[in-house]
Structure 1
Amino acid sequence: MSGVGMSVCVTGGSGYLGSWLVKLLLERGYTVKATVLDLGDSSNTDHLKALEGADERLQLFEANLTDEGSFDSAVAGCDGVFHTASPCFLSCADPLVELIEPAVGGTLNVLESCSKVASIRRVVFTSSIAALTTNRKPKGAGVLVDETWFADPEYCKETKQWYVLSKTMAEAASWKFSRENGIDLVVLHPGFIIGPHLQPTPNLSSQFFIDLIKGHGQFPEYRCVDVRDLAYAHIAAFENPLASGRYPVVGEVIMHSEIMELFHGLYPSIAAPSSGLENSNNTYEVSQKRAKSLGISFTPLEVSLKDTVESLKEKKFLTL
């Protein structure tokens, strides 16, 4: 399907995922209306203006998740909306004010703007795989996480996983609003986003990878997806008339020591894990059935990791 003659909005257009989404949409012929936090900040805008097709078919709008009506002009006249904008950090002083209210209220602000535009045929919303997996269910060998899983808000509160709670509550609010207002909503649940960067400044995931490579911090496992695969999945979820509901989008689940072993193999200067490899057979899997029904082919993890590091080096975020 070609996007020629069609107009779409990307919220959070200057971000890691948003930038790639804008790039691929322009390549497919769409007219793109992207929202950024500050039109006066060149780090929000210059990399988007430099994309092929931007001069003719990219319009930038300033919008803030917490400002009611902020997205009205950006979504006006659009055929579809991709809502990727959301606060993304793992620690904060006031989770309600800093994470939950902007995520939930911001999603409702975007959907409220969409409800005023009769031409919008679908909204594609970016959630998180954590909004499926963060619960008390046992996870290990033989466990398959799919779109029927839901995070447990009470468990999120008990474990102080405020970012996950914000994504979980935002998704629940989006489904309720969409049902009540006749909006065709599709929700994607990506894992940890990796791959090359288009934006000029590090974001949370790139900074985490920089720290990881330097031997600081870790998660028990990584549910990885290449940013290019994820951007394409968003477009497929909009273009495919049969798309509906929730879509986990994860290429591979890998343990910490395994990912460090891969890094070391690609770049010997990155320290190999000090302990023996954990048994990857103990990790759960994330179903790819729904994502593959959209035509998604996942990039091999080694390719994504190498492209991530090379991009971080090129932008001078990382020296090896």
Structure 2
Amino acid sequence: MSKRNSAREGLMEQLELGTKRDRTLTFCVTGATGYVGSWLVKSLLQRGYMVHATVRDPEKASRLLSIWRGENRLKVFKADLQEDGSFDEAVKGCNGVFHVATSMEFGVLGKSNIESYVQLNILDPAIKGTLNLLKACSRAKSVKRVVYTSSISTITAKDNTEKWRTMVDESCQVHVDHVWSMKASGWVYVLSKLLSEEAAFRFANENDIDLVSIIPTTVAGPFLTPNIPASVRVLLSPITGDPEFYPILFAVNSRLGSISLVHIEDICNAHIFLMEQAAAKGRYICSANSCVMSELANHLALEYPLNKQRICEEHHGSVPSEISSKKLRDLGFEYKYGLGEIIQQTVDCCVQHGFLDPSGRNGDFP
């Protein structure tokens, strides 16, 4: 039996024992002040686990402490992905690590030698940060599994001839050369996730680390952060007309043929599910529902008025490719929220935070 298989079975045994002993396991979450990271910390604490939450700025975590309600089961660590050894203390004694932290750079405007700038200032640091964390995990002999948060931006529904695939699964990765040449909206983020994940799996294989990757689609629903998450801004861009995030929504639609969504609670449950399942291996798409742009507009309009003429419908009137979550479902995962609930809760939370005008819900388009 390989070390990795032995570790996988050992983790499962520990999880089963932890269930009987009030969840005595400890997990580290990187990027704990972000959208997914903050909710994941909350979810783990609610299950009774011990949590090590890493942040670059501890002051940003102060507002979340009352929401997390971790009491003596939560420790917050200051850590920077660009500093060698910065995560050593945070992962020390942890049974598993959730690597959620990521740069949210979507594009670079006004830079000369743009490709060199992106490589040196965004891509190289992103890869270095991922490897710094995995090196810390390798040094911490207690870590049995790392769950890496990837992105649906690494997936395409088009084949090499630009025709729609009938089924899109974890193997349908975007080609790096294609991203560099096309530079569609959000291309810098796409490259960052593609290259970081590739480097993570290479390092994990070379150093006998049990690494599992989860591929979220557009994450939405309520949020704990004081700022509006980028994925929520992308989803609501047909309402807001945001000039930065609106083109990203269409770039996603052009690459996948639809907008695929997952609720924040479901994506965090999926993270924990993949940490707990001994049989988990490789990459897993996490997608609850997909809809074409016209259907998305209809759902948004039910919750908040919008100018549907802003949305240019694609030639196809139905979802051309199924964004398959079969691999995750076959492992036993079940989704809790559907399309309508995701959009309703997203709009509700944004109204509560003042991002959307509450008077606009029954009024004219702002």
The TM-score with structure 1 as length reference comes to 0.91
Aligned mates of 1:66, 1:276 — CA distance in 2: 41
1:240 aligns with 277
1:251 aligns with 2:277: no
* Aligned-pair CA distance for 1:149: 2.1
Which structure 2 residues correspond to residues 140-219 of structure 1 after superposition, within 5 A?
143-160=166-183, 161-216=187-242, 217=246, 218-219=249-250
Aligned mates of 2:349, 2:163 — CA distance in 1: 33
Aligned mates of 1:48, 1:66 — CA distance in 2: 24
CA-to-aligned-CA distance 1:239-270 (integer Å, 9 cap, x gap)? 01111111011122222222111111233x23
**Partner secondary structure for residue 270 of structure 1:** coil
CA-to-aligned-CA distance 1:88-140 (integer Å, 9 cap, x gap)? 12112432244312321111011000000111110000011221328753566
1:86 aligns with 102
Detail structure 1 runs of 4+ shifted over 6 Å in the superposition. Answer: none
**Contact 1:135/1:156 (<8 A) preserved:** no
Residue 35 of structure 1 is aligned with which of 54, 65, 76? 54
1:272 aligns with 2:295: no
Q: Compared with structure 1, are the counterparts of its residues 275 and 148 closer, same or farther at alpha carbon in structure 2 (3 Å cutoff)?
A: closer
Residue 297 of structure 1 is aligned with which of 329, 335, 348? 335
Aligned mates of 2:210, 2:32 — CA distance in 1: 21
Paired amino acid for 2:208: G
Which structure 2 residues correspond to residues 300-319 of structure 1 after superposition, within 5 A?
300-319=338-357
1:286 aligns with 2:312: no
CA-to-aligned-CA distance 1:166-223 (integer Å, 9 cap, x gap)? 1111111111111111100000111111111111112322333443312342413322
Aligned length: 316
* Aligned-pair CA distance for 1:57: 1.1
Paired amino acid for 1:57: R
* Aligned-pair CA distance for 1:58: 1.1
Aligned mates of 1:178, 1:84 — CA distance in 2: 16
Aligned mates of 1:313, 1:90 — CA distance in 2: 25
Aligned mates of 1:275, 1:148 — CA distance in 2: 30
2:75 aligns with 59
**Contact 2:147/2:271 (<8 A) preserved:** yes
Aligned mates of 1:98, 1:53 — CA distance in 2: 37
**Contact 1:243/1:294 (<8 A) preserved:** no
Residue 143 of structure 2 is aligned with which of 120, 123, 137? 120
Paired amino acid for 1:182: D
Q: Which moved more, 1:131-140 or 1:66-75?
A: 131-140
Paired amino acid for 1:147: E
Aligned mates of 2:197, 2:311 — CA distance in 1: 39
Aligned mates of 1:294, 1:107 — CA distance in 2: 29
Paired amino acid for 2:352: E
**Contact 2:148/2:213 (<8 A) preserved:** yes
Greater Rg, structure 1 or structure 2? 2
**Partner secondary structure for residue 133 of structure 1:** coil
Aligned mates of 2:353, 2:207 — CA distance in 1: 43
Aligned mates of 1:141, 1:154 — CA distance in 2: 19
In structure 2, list runs of 5 or more residues that go unmatched.
1-15, 112-116, 361-366
The TM-score with structure 2 as length reference comes to 0.81
Percent of aligned pairs with the same residue? Answer: 34
Aligned mates of 1:25, 1:294 — CA distance in 2: 19
Q: Compared with structure 1, are the counterparts of its residues 140 and 48 closer, same or farther at alpha carbon in structure 2 (3 Å cutoff)?
A: farther
Paired amino acid for 1:6: L
1:17 aligns with 36
Q: Which moved more, 1:142-151 or 1:170-179?
A: 142-151
**Contact 1:141/1:281 (<8 A) preserved:** no
In structure 1, list runs of 5 or more residues that go unmatched.
none
Paired amino acid for 2:123: I
